[in-house]
Amino acid sequence: DAGVIQSPRHEVTEMGQEVTLRCKPISGHNSLFWYRQTMMRGLELLIYFNNNVPIDDSGMPEDRFSAKMPNASFSTLKIQPSEPRDSAVYFCASSPGRSYEQYFGPGTRLTVT
Amino acid sequence: GEDVEQSLFLSVREGDSSVINCTYTDSSSTYLYWYKQEPGAGLQLLTYIFSNMDMKQDQRLTVLLNKKDKHLSLRIADTQTGDSAIYFCAESRGGGFKTIFGAGTRLFVKA
């Protein structure tokens, strides 16, 4: 099993640019989560999907952030326009649902200058 | 409150036991978890315990759950330098997918 796959692993962009982060969950998992991790705020849940449907997006910071899950094997997190305070490591995780344990990807380190 | 609380740092000598403590808030939490994060990597599930259990042992790891006090602990026996990492306690809220993570305990293992 390849585990959760995220791309890109690193992204450096200028303020105002659009950023798209991608995630492929583990095959057969029916839930997908997007988190953001910073030193100041720790690990924050941004949004999660169950069976491709967004269930809770209360953690999405503002309208500049959007997430989609068009099918069971792919999800995107988009930031438009990006700002320096969006700099963080963004993790995607998936869960098979049995005991709600989550399997994390390696993360995307985003730097907005 | 909303938070899962854990101490920020723990330092032990190689070969000693490490005990990482956590308090959670939701008495209806179904599952409680311990995750490990090494530098530059994502969180890795170490173990979890169902809320009707008191203890779970998995090789060098022992999880103790005190539901009355909402206290969870992770004991690592014979701690090795490779155990140096951040350990996150987490609870599943409302019996569902929403998992609340603590801030993480950074474990330093001295050779």
Joined tokens for residue B19: 């005990």
Running DSSP on this structure, what letter comes out for residue B25?
-
Is the pLDDT assigned to residue A92 strictly greater than 60? yes
Pairwise CA distance, residues A94 & A109, whole Å: 19
- B105 and B50 Cβ atoms separated by less than 8 Å: no
Burial class (CB in 10 A: 0-12, 13-18, 19+), A90: buried
Binding-face residues of B in 45-74 toward A, CB within 8 A: 45, 48, 50
pLDDT score, position B85? 97
Q: Mean pLDDT lowest for which of A40-44, A85-89, A98-102, B20-24? A: A98-102
Q: Mean pLDDT lowest for which of A76-80, A107-111, B24-28? A: B24-28
Joined tokens for residue A67: 């997430």
CB half-sphere exposure, A55, CA atoms < 13 A: 14
Q: What is the pLDDT of residues A74-87, one digit of tens each?
A: 999 999 999 999 99
Q: B16 CA to chain A: closest CA distance, Å?
A: 28
**For the residues B50-73, what does the mean pLDDT come to?**
93
Q: What is the pLDDT of residues B69-105, one digit of tens each?
A: 999 999 999 999 999 999 999 988 765 678 889 999 9
Q: What is the pLDDT of residues B30-54, one digit of tens each?
A: 789 999 999 989 999 999 998 888 9
Question: Model confidence at A71, in pLDDT bands (50, 70, 90)?
Answer: very high
Cβ within 8 Å of residue A92, ≥6 positions away:
A4, A6, A21, A23, A25, A32, A33, A34, A35, A75, A77, A104, A105
Q: What is the pLDDT of residues A22-68, one digit of tens each?
A: 999 999 999 999 999 998 888 999 999 999 999 989 999 889 999 99
Q: What residues of A are in contact with residue B41 (Cβ under 8 Å)? A: 106-107
Which of A35, A57, A102 best tests the B interface by mutation, with the highest count of B CBs <10 A?
Answer: A102
pLDDT score, position A1? 64
Is the pLDDT assigned to residue B3 strictly greater than 90? no
Q: What's phi and psi for B64, nearest 5 deg? A: -120, 135
